[in-house]
Amino acid sequence: MNTPAAEDAHLDFETTSACDLKKAGVAVYAQHPTTRVLCFSWRIGDGTVYGWLAGDAMPRELMTHVANGGRVVAQNAAFERVMWNVTLPRQVSEALPYMRIGQQSCTMARAKALNLPGGLDNMAKALGTGYQKDMEGHKLMMKLARPRKRFADGTFTWWDRDTGGGHLLDRELEYCKQDVRVESDVDALLPDLSPAEQGLWEFDQEINEKGILFDMPLVRRAILLVAYAKDKANVEISRLTGGAVRKVTEAEKIKTWLNSRGVTCDSLAKGVMPDIEALAKSLGDDTALEVLAVRESASKTSTAKFSKMLECAGVDGRIRFMFAYHGASTGRWAGRLVQPQNFPRFDDENPQQRQAVYWLIDLLLSPRSIEEVHDCMDVVYGEVLPWLSKMLRSTIIAAPGHKLVGGDFSNIEGRVNAWLAGEHWKLKAFAAYDAKQGPDLYKLTYAKSFGIEVDAVTKDQRQIGKVQELASGYQGGVGAYISMAKQYKIELADLARRVFEGSDPVKWVSVQERFPQAVDKCGLPLFEWTALKLLVTSWRSAHPHIVQSWWNYQDAALSAVDSPGQPFDVANMSDGAASAGRVRYLSDGNFLYCCLPGGRVISYAHPYIKQSTVTRIRKDGTEYEAPVTELRFWGEDSTTRKWQSQSLYGGLLCENISQAVSRDIMVDSMYRVRGAGYPVTGTVHDEIITEPASSFGSREHFESLMEAVPAWAGGLPVSVSTWESQRYVK
C-alpha cells in the first residue's frame, strides 16, 4: 500500500468537443477550437473534494500547489496535464502555472506496472476500493462530451448551453468529484513506480509530447490514390462477378457468389482465407481466385492509416501520444492512434520492395495526376494498394535540418531466451553469426533439428527453420505451428510434404504412432499432424536447456505461490546450480512477483494453485484420470478487456520474462543514445527511432551505443541493425 503525501493533489477534468478524443488523440483534441473544460474536481491530500465549473474563479490553493512544483496525482495523467497547460488557459483570465511532467504521478501507469487494469472502473474493482466509479454519471459524461447537434454549416448546439444545461453540469461535477474519490483510493492502494520506472514514464511522456513528424503532402496524395484504387477494384469485382458484387466491401454478397460456385464458406475473415483460396484452387476456379485476390488487396485496413494520420497530425505535421507506457504486461510499449507498430516492414530478402516503394513516393510527390500514378505503378509492379501499405513507414520523416537514425535489435527475444536458459551452443552460434563467422540461425536450427549439415540446408528448409524458431521458443505446440503457417501463408499440406521429405523415416514413424493418444490433433489429418509434431519434438530435442527452463520457471513460481514470503530462485539450466538470483519469484499472497536480472519486477495479481484432473488415453486405447496442478492468476483479457482468471504455465512465464528482459535491454539503450545526443522520438517493438541534427553522429556510432549491454546482462550476445535516412526505411 502506498502512503500518499499529505501535500499531493488529485485532479480530474471533464471536457466537451466536436473533436473525437479517441480518434484524434489528446494533442489535437486539446488544441481543437471547440474543446472546452466543462468542470474539474480536485483535492489536496485527503482533504475536501472541491469542484470547479466553467466561469468560476480558479482555486488559489490548487494553483499555488502546481506553481510550487507539488505532486499532482491523476488517472491517465497526460490528459490532465495537457488540459491544464493547453485547453484551460483559453477559458480563464488568470495566468496558469505550467504543470511539468516531473511533478505528476499517473495511477494508470502504476496499475499497468502491476499488470492491473488500466481503466479506472476495472482498476477500482480489481483493487476493491471503498469508492467505485459512478457508472450512471459516466453515461452522462459521454453524452456531454459531444455536441448535441451538428449542422451542415459546421456549427453545433451543446448540451450544457441549452435550457436545463446547468442541471446537467451539476450532475457532471458530482460524477467528476466521485472520480477524484476513487482515484484517491486507488492512489492509496497502488505503490508508486520505482524511481527507475518513474523516470522512464517521464522519458516516455517527453517522447510522446515531442511526437513524430509525418510527410503530410505525401499522406494527402496517398489518400487520393487509395480512393482511386478502391474505385478501380470495385469496377473489377463487379466485372468478375457479372454485377453480383459491386463493391469489395460487400462481404455477404461475395460469400453468396462464392458458395454458388461451390467454393463453400461462411466467413471471409483473414484466418480462413487460405482455406477458401485452397478450395478455389482445387476446383480450378480461376475467377473465384481473382475475386478473392481483388477482395484481399482492396480490403487492406492498413491503407486506412493514411486518413488516420491526417486526423491525428497537429498543425506542424507531428503526431503525438502514439506510444503507451507499459502497454503490455511485460513493460513493452503499445501503439496508439496510427499505431506504427503495425506498419508493414520491408522484406530484406526482396530488394524490389524498397525500390517499388521509393518509386511510388517519387510518383506521388510529382505533378502527375492520381490516375497517372496508379497506372504507372500498376503496369510496372501490379496492384497499387499493397504497395501503399508497404509505404506507410516511409511517411515518417525527419524535420528540416535533421535526420532519422534508428536501430533494431536482431532476434533479441531468442537471444535472451537462450541466455537465461544456458543454451550455450545457441549463444555461441549467435556470436559467430554476428562476427560473420557462422551460419544463418534459421539454417542452423533446421540442421540441428533434423541432423544434417548446415551447408546442406536448402532455402525451403531454412523457411521451416524460421517457422520453428518463431513457434517453438515458448512451449508452442502443434497449434502454434498452425497459426504461424497462416501468418506466413504456408499451406500445411506443402509444409508437411517438405518436412516428410527431410525427415528420418524412423523418427517419422515413431511420432506418427503417437497420433491415437494425442490431445493436440487440432482437427488435422494424420500426415499433417505428424509433420507438425515432428517440428515440435525436433526443435525441443535440439534445445534441451530451453525446454527445461519452462519447467524450472513453473516450479519456482508454483513454489512461491505455495509459500508466500519465501523467495525462490529459478534453477540454472546449464549446470544445475542456483542462478544467483538472475530470475527469482516471490509471492506476498496478493501478487506473484518475478524479479528480473536487471532488478525490475513484473507482477501477477491474485495468484493461486488449482488442482484438477484430465482424461488421458493409454497406448492400448483405455482412458485414465491424471492429476494436474495448475498455476493461475487474475488478469485483463487482451481481447475482451475483462478481468478474469487466466492460466500461467511454464511457456508463458518464459515468454513474459524473455520479453521483459528484452524491453529492459532496449530501455538501457534508449537512455544511452539520448545521453549521447540522439533525441528519441519513438520505439517500435525492439527498435529505437531518433531524430538528431543532420550533421550529428553516424550509424556506426549509434550501433556501438545500442550494442553495449548493461553489466547485469554479461554474456548476452547482442546485435543491432542500424539505418540512417530522411525517411523511416527499416
Burial class of 33 by CB neighbour count within 10 A (0 to 12, 13 to 18, 19+) = exposed
For residue 429, what are the CA distances in angstroms to 416, 436, 438? 13, 10, 7
Q: Please provide the CATH number assigned to the domain covering 9-192.
A: 3.30.420
Q: What angle do CA 69, 74, 77 make, to 5 degrees?
A: 85
Could you tell me whether strands 680-684 and 212-213 are parallel, antiparallel, or unpaired per DSSP bridges?
A: unpaired
Which one, of 727, 705, 699, 730, lies nearest residue 718 by Cα?
Answer: 705
Q: Coil, strand, or helix at residue 40?
A: strand
> Which strands, in side-by-side order, build the sheet including 591-595?
568-569, 584-587, 591-595, 601-617, 623-636, 643-647
Give the per-residue pLDDT at 2: 55
Strands of the sheet with 720-725, listed across from one edge: 680-684, 687-690, 404-409, 720-725
- Show Cβ contacts of residue 479 under 8 Å, excluding neighbours closer than 6 positions: 520, 522
Q: State the Cα–Cα distance between residues 598 and 595, nearest whole angstrom.
A: 8
Measured CA to CA, the distance from residue 147 to residue 83 in angstroms comes to: 19
pLDDT, position 100: 97
Q: What is the rounded distance in angstroms from the CA atom of residue 730 to the CA atom of residue 727? A: 9
Closest CA relative to residue 131, chosen from 50, 187, 47, 62: 187
Pairs from 543-546 (Cβ < 8 Å, separation ≥ 24) = 543/418, 543/421, 543/423, 543/426, 543/472, 545/418, 545/421, 545/422, 545/423, 545/424, 545/573, 545/574, 546/417, 546/418, 546/421, 546/423, 546/473, 546/573, 546/654
Rounded-to-integer distance, Cα 228 and Cα 220, Å: 13
Q: Copy the grid coordinates of residue 413.
A: 527475444
Residue 608 CB partners (closer than 8 Å, separation 6+)? 561, 631, 632, 633
730, three cell numbers: 527499416
Q: What pLDDT does 573 receive?
A: 52
pLDDT at residue 419 in the model: 94
**Rounded CA gap, 106 and 200, in Å?**
12
* Residue the block writes with cell 444545461: 165
Residues ≥6 apart with Cβ < 8 Å to 377: 356, 359, 360, 363, 384, 387
Over its C-alpha atoms, the chain yields an Rg (Å, rounded) of 28
**H-state helical runs in 453-491:** 459-472, 478-487
Q: With 0-12 CB in 10 A as exposed, 13-18 as middle and 19+ as buried, what is 22?
A: exposed
The beta-strand segments (E) located in 637-707 are 643-647, 680-684, 687-690
State residue 574's pLDDT score.
52
What contacts 24+ positions apart, CB below 8 Å, involve 462-465?
Answer: 463/488, 463/490, 464/495, 464/498, 464/499, 464/502, 464/535, 465/441
Q: How far is residue 263's CA from residue 256's CA, in Å, rounded to a whole number?
A: 10
> What is the rounded CA–CA span in Å between residue 533 and residue 389?
35
Cell readout for 531 is 509433420
- CATH 3.30.420 residue ranges for the chain: 9-192
Measured between alpha carbons, how far is 418 from 426 in angstroms, rounded to an integer? 7
Q: Return the ∠ at Cα 545 (arms to 539 and 551), rounded to 5°.
A: 100
Would you say 319 and 313 are in contact if contact means Cβ atoms under 8 Å apart?
A: yes
User: With DSSP H G I counted as helix, E B as strand and the rest as coil, what are the percentages for the chain, rounded to 5?
Assistant: 50, 15, 35
User: Residues 323, 335: contact at Cβ < 8 Å?
Assistant: yes
Sequence-ordered strand ranges (E) for 81-176: 104-106, 149-150, 156-157
Strands (E) in 618-702, as ranges, are 623-636, 643-647, 680-684, 687-690
Q: Whole-angstrom Cα distance, residue 14 to residue 12?
A: 7
Q: Which three cell numbers stand for residue 273?
A: 482465407
Q: With the C-alpha atoms ordered 688, 690, 694, 697, is the resulting torsion angle positive or negative?
A: negative
Burial 710-721 (b: 16+ CB within 10 A, else e): eeebeebbbbbe
Per-residue DSSP letters for 293-343? HHHHHHT-GGGGHHHHHHHH--TTSEE---EETT-STTS--EE-TT-GGGS
505: which 3 cell numbers?
Answer: 523415416
Q: 649 by DSSP, 3-state: which?
A: coil
Rounded alpha-carbon distances, angstroms, from residue 650 to 540, 556, 626, 664: 14, 10, 19, 21
C-alpha 484/C-alpha 501 separation (Å) is 20
Low-confidence ranges of the chain (pLDDT < 70): 1-6, 162-166, 301, 348-349, 572-581, 619-620
